Amino acid sequence: MFSFALALIAFSDKFANRMTDLNEKEDSHQGMAFKDLQSIAFSVVGLVLLLLSLPKVAQIGWNIYAVKSAGDERNVAEIVRNTWSFALATGIQFIIGFVLFIGAELFSTLWHKAILRLKHERNIT
């Protein structure tokens, strides 16, 4: 995550130059359209969720290995149950992050269409 932050800082001037030429038209070629910014936002959120879940995945693997190698059968059932519930939550976080990161363009398009439809229904300019 630290290297991602450094990359954002290193390329911030290019992002800033493209974002200052924002145009609300969909087919704008000079600057970044709002739809593109939404796509970047979905990708960043997905990447953050993915990166936050990776250490948890490693911890789950270590927990399962430690429980199986310990050989103590007294508390194994409860520890395994807690580990699997944590694994389920982490798996859901990982899947949501992956879907947001990979499907950012689709979610951006859906979001943009929903906003346009809402504006049209409510006659908002």
Give the domain extent around 85: 33-122
Per-residue pLDDT, averaged over 95-115, amounts to 85
In a domain, 69, yes or no: yes
Identity (one letter) of the amino acid at 50? Answer: L
In a domain, 68, yes or no: yes
In a domain, 8, yes or no: no
In a domain, 42, yes or no: yes
pLDDT digit string, tens, across residues 14-69: 665 665 555 444 444 555 676 777 788 888 888 888 889 889 888 888 877 777 78
Would you state the pLDDT for residue 122?
80
The token duo for 8 is 């954002």
Would you state the pLDDT for residue 24?
46
In a domain, 5, yes or no: no
Length of the chain: 125
Per-residue pLDDT, averaged over 67-73, amounts to 72
Ranking 42-46, 76-80, 110-114 by mean pLDDT, the lowest is 76-80
The answer to whether 35 and 114 have CB atoms below 8 angstroms apart is no
In a domain, 20, yes or no: no
Domain count, the chain: 1
Give the residue among 21, 1, 35, 15 at the shortest CA–CA distance from 115. 35
pTM, entire model: 0.59
Judged on CB neighbours under 10 Å (0-12, 13-18, 19+), 108 is buried
Report the alpha-carbon distance of residue 1 to residue 54 in Å, rounded.
11
In a domain, 111, yes or no: yes
